[in-house]
Amino acid sequence: MGFLEGLLWLTLNVYHEARSESKIGQLAVAHVTINRATIKQQSLEQVINAPYQFSWTFQKRTYVPAEPEAFFDCMHSAFFAMVTEDFTGGATFYHREDILPDWSNDMTFVAQYGSHKFYRD
């Protein structure tokens, strides 16, 4: 997968998962996605579309962004994450702060950025 295709998939993931977050929250979500791809030695598209990994991929009818300005803001965050060092401490999972998934008990809490809590194995 080329850089631009990876950028598109990462942008879509940030858009659907964190478009209402601050820049740091968007970057953190992007870094989690990149971290997973790196660890699994898979493309961003493969990681994002893996079954039940990111809710938008199986809950949305369309991937087409409805908010162009937010999409381009998320693209900036995705690009920045692709060319900068990870600041999340190697986080590979996150969830909204108002949800407590069972898997979080088996993970190491790393930090909270915006309304998401971040974890690593």
Q: Which amino acid is at 60?
A: K
How do residues 11-64 score in pLDDT, each as one tens digit?
999 999 999 999 999 999 999 999 999 999 999 999 999 998 998 898 877 778
DSSP annotation string for 44-112: HHHHHTSTTSSTHHHH-S--S-S-HHHHHHHHHHHHHHHTS---SSS--EEEETT---GGGGGSEEEEE
Which pTM was predicted? 0.94
- Delineate the domains of the chain, giving CATH numbers in brackets: 3-91 (1.10.10)
